[in-house]
Amino acid sequence: MDESQFYRSQLWTAPELLRMTTRPINGTQKADVYSFAIILQEIMFRAEPFFVGTESPSGKLILAQLEF
C-alpha cells in the first residue's frame, strides 16, 4: 500500500479516532455514525468522500485538516 492509498483508506475514520495514539479495538458508536455518514454521502453524490465540485482533494490534505 503506497502513501496515497494509506491516506485514502483513512477517510472513513472519525477524526477523534485519528487523534488517538491507541484506538479502541472495536471503535466507538460515534465513530461508526461518522463512517456511515461518509458512506451515505458517497451514495448520495456518487462521488469520493469529501468531493467538492469538480475536484477531490488529496487524502493527505483532508486528514491534515481533520486532525486539528
Name the domain count of the chain.
1
* Cβ-based neighbour number of residue 42 at 10 Å: 16
Give the global pTM: 0.74
- Domain span holding position 57: 3-66
How many contiguous H segments (helices) and E segments (strands) does the chain have? 4, 0
Q: What is the pLDDT of residues 41-59, one digit of tens each?
A: 999 888 888 777 777 778 8
DSSP-derived 3-state class of residue 55: strand
DSSP-derived 3-state class of residue 26: coil
Mean pLDDT of 19-26: 92
Q: What is the pLDDT of residues 7-20, one digit of tens each?
A: 888 888 999 998 89
